[in-house]
Amino acid sequence: MVFPTYGMGSPLSIYSHTFIKINSKKYPEGSYLNTAISFSAAFPSNENPVTLTFKGVFGGYQGYFGVEPYYLKVKAYSYLDNRDLFEYYLNLTEDEIDRIVLHVWELKDISMDYYFFKKNCSYYLLDLLEIARPSLALKEQFALWTIPADTIRLLFEIPEFVIKTNYFPSKLTYLYQRLQDLSEEERIVLLHLFEAKDLSFSNNWYSLRDEQKAFLLEIYRDYLALIATPEAANVRKEVVNLRSEIDLVTEEKSYPQMVESPEQGHASSRWSFGVGLQEEKGNFLDIELRLSLHDFLDPGIGFDRFSEIETGKLRVRSFEDKVIIEDFTILNLTSIFPYDKVYDISSWRFLMNIKQDHSQQCFNCPIFNLQAGTGIGFQLGETLSYILVDADYHYGDAYEGKFQLGGQIGIGGLYSLRKKWKVNLSLYHFRFYFGEKDMYWEKKGAVRYSLNHNQDLRLEGKTINSYSEVKLGWQIFF
């Protein structure tokens, strides 16, 4: 079984993916010529993200099993999507593997219903494992939704079923690892090349030893391959020719694994219980259920530390005299990637939810909120800071004309301390120009202490205009 790390490039890949690799007796175990078996939805390549998400969730696509050489999967995930790969070797007999191959051959051109949350790639692969070994009861563990990382965790619950794990960094990860080995002089030379995107060397180049030049040219060659433009391809040919003139073989160095494997992470769903104080209404109790997956304050082991993915989060708040829905998050996607001259990866956010608008002078004012924007991130040690600029649309009875349209700009920071503690602070300025005009500031802060990888405690507070609240919560992942 193979698990690519989480990808934020497509709505159908945010929860990642799994596929099966079949090792042939004709090739070595690690050969890219081995066979990959996967299940995926069939959709037009030019489908827009909104249609793709809607139809993927509600069964608008058919899915098919696919069989192809393993190197094509490596190319798609490692080279094009820049996602690391985890391989899990399963304890299956030759007869069991043969049953998988024969079953896939029978179903190769037969369509099946595809549902993003339930009958997805991982669900149908569990079906293959049950066919291989009928005593396995895997699919029944996923009654409502099937998240790829959860299926990997399930495999580890079967005694002696996972034999070993291999990790393959993506080309982007491997580039990052080698950059950490550079001296300041080497980094100056390389950054000059990255900016110029040609072979105009800085003066420092000529003082380098041949082994340093060879190493830098190899990094530059791989960087140009990641850019994947016709201009970069032409320069890459020149770099390869120049590297061939240096009669040295650089030693392939192994680097420590940069990300933890997904089975080490917390479970995908979460209950939250909280007690708090709201300045005007007094004490309250919060109960929250989040179907999936991860936010910035959750324990980060096994997840992308630069992104948060939340779907189906419902928070109910109880006061002494009333119970209200405080928040219902349909979808929250945020990616904050640290700025670096080497990488051209922007930060962005998309949020769709129904929430209480605490900027209004009323109690129980639910509104529909849609926001999307972009920004930039900065990393210094264990601190990840960011600036985000969003467009905001609000709809609800609380507003004149029943809507607001405007935007927000904010700054924030995430600080981790020895994996147990994490702090998230943010300050946002909102301004609305259409519908009900308004302007206000929002200040938020939160501290998390991790009890274990499936439980944590949080202290949270926020202020908006004259509204303020503070809350202590307990999170349980399941």
Given a cut of 90, whether residue 391 has pLDDT beyond it is yes
Span 31-42, pLDDT tens digits: 889 999 999 999
In a domain, 176, yes or no: no
- Inform me whether the pLDDT recorded for 115 exceeds 70: yes
User: How many Cα atoms within 13 Å fall on the side-chain side of residue 104?
Assistant: 28
Is 344 part of any domain?
Answer: yes
Q: Name the H helices within 143-252.
A: 148-157, 171-179, 184-196, 210-227, 230-244
Domain enclosing residue 107, as ranges? 2-168
Decide if 307 is inside a domain.
yes
User: Are 164 and 271 members of one domain?
Assistant: no
Shared-domain flag, residues 211 and 236: yes
On whether both 149 and 72 belong to a single domain, the answer is: yes
Asked if residue 252 belongs to a domain, the reply is no
pLDDT band with cut points at 50, 70 and 90 for residue 344:
low
**What distance, in Å, lies between the first and last C-alpha atoms of the chain?**
23
pLDDT digits (tens, 9 = 90+) for 44-86: 888 887 788 888 888 999 999 999 999 999 999 988 888 999 9
* pLDDT of 264 strictly over 70: yes
> Is the same domain home to 10 and 126?
yes
- Burial class of residue 239 in the structure, from the number of CB atoms within 10 Å of its CB (0-12 exposed, 13-18 middle, 19+ buried): buried
Domain count, the chain: 3
Examine residue 255 and state whether it is found in any structural domain, yes or no.
no
Q: Is residue 398 part of a domain?
A: yes
Average pLDDT on 425-435 reads 96
Model confidence pLDDT, tens digit, residues 165-189: 999 999 888 888 888 888 889 988 9
In a domain, 102, yes or no: yes
Q: Does any domain span residue 76? A: yes
